[in-house]
Homo-oligomer: A and B are copies of this chain.
Amino acid sequence: MPRSRSRLANDAWESLLTAHASLMKRFAAEPIWDQLSMREYDVLYTLSKHDGPIRLFELGRGVLLSQPALSRLVERLAERGLVERTPDPEDGRGLRLGLTAAGREAQRSVGGRHAVDVARAVADVLTDEEMRQLESIGRKLAGAATPAQQTHRTRKEAVL
């Protein structure tokens, strides 16, 4: 008897969770996080992916942190001269966040070494096709969890 789709989905999710936890622990044990914690690196990396400055709440979508925690993490990075915070001229409530030269340098330095560890951990056990499959599956899952930008009406209706 085949597993139900619900069972299949839960098994797949558990597998993803386990892989995530195992690899995160492995990466955390690497001696490359002396100047930047993994979370700080996550923020700098996300900023480095965008060319232009981005908003705090945009940054928050990619980072698994509450809004206040992210706000203060960015504050600390700004105090260390790695991130630049300027008021958004187009929206008086918002911030425009960007990397400083030092921030970009720190991201590249840590990122380069981290990428080596990631490649070792992943490429050693997956085939090219499996890596492509994982990338594709991950994209689908991430897209599903972020139901694209909804209009206000749509979102309201979804709640009601």
Please list the residues of chain A having a beta carbon within 8 angstroms of any beta carbon in chain B. 5-6, 8-26, 61-64, 115-116, 118-119, 121-126, 128, 130-146
Q: With CB as the reference atom, state the residue of chain B lying closest to A144.
A: B125
What residues of chain B lie closer than 8 Å to A126, measured between beta carbons?
9, 12, 137, 140-141
For A12, the chain B residues whose CB sits under 8 A away are 122, 126, 131-132, 134-135, 138
Contact of A16 among B19, B115, B123 (CB under 8 A): B19
Q: Are B6 and A145 in contact (CB under 8 A)?
A: no
Given A15-B142, A18-B62, A18-B139, 18 additional A-B pairs, CB 8 A: A5-B128, A8-B131, A8-B135, A10-B115, A10-B118, A10-B119, A10-B122, A11-B135, A12-B131, A12-B138, A15-B136, A16-B134, A21-B63, A21-B64, A24-B64, A125-B140, A125-B143, A125-B144
In the complex, how many angstroms separate the beta carbon of A125 from the nearest chain B beta carbon? 4
Copies in the assembly, this chain: 2
Chain B nearest CB, measured from A155 CB (Å): 13
CA distance A13 to B20 in the complex (A): 9
Q: Do A122 and B141 touch (CB < 8 A)?
A: yes
A–B Cβ pairs within 8 angstroms, 15 of them: A5-B119, A9-B123, A12-B134, A13-B122, A15-B139, A18-B138, A18-B139, A19-B142, A22-B61, A22-B141, A25-B61, A121-B145, A122-B141, A126-B141, A130-B137
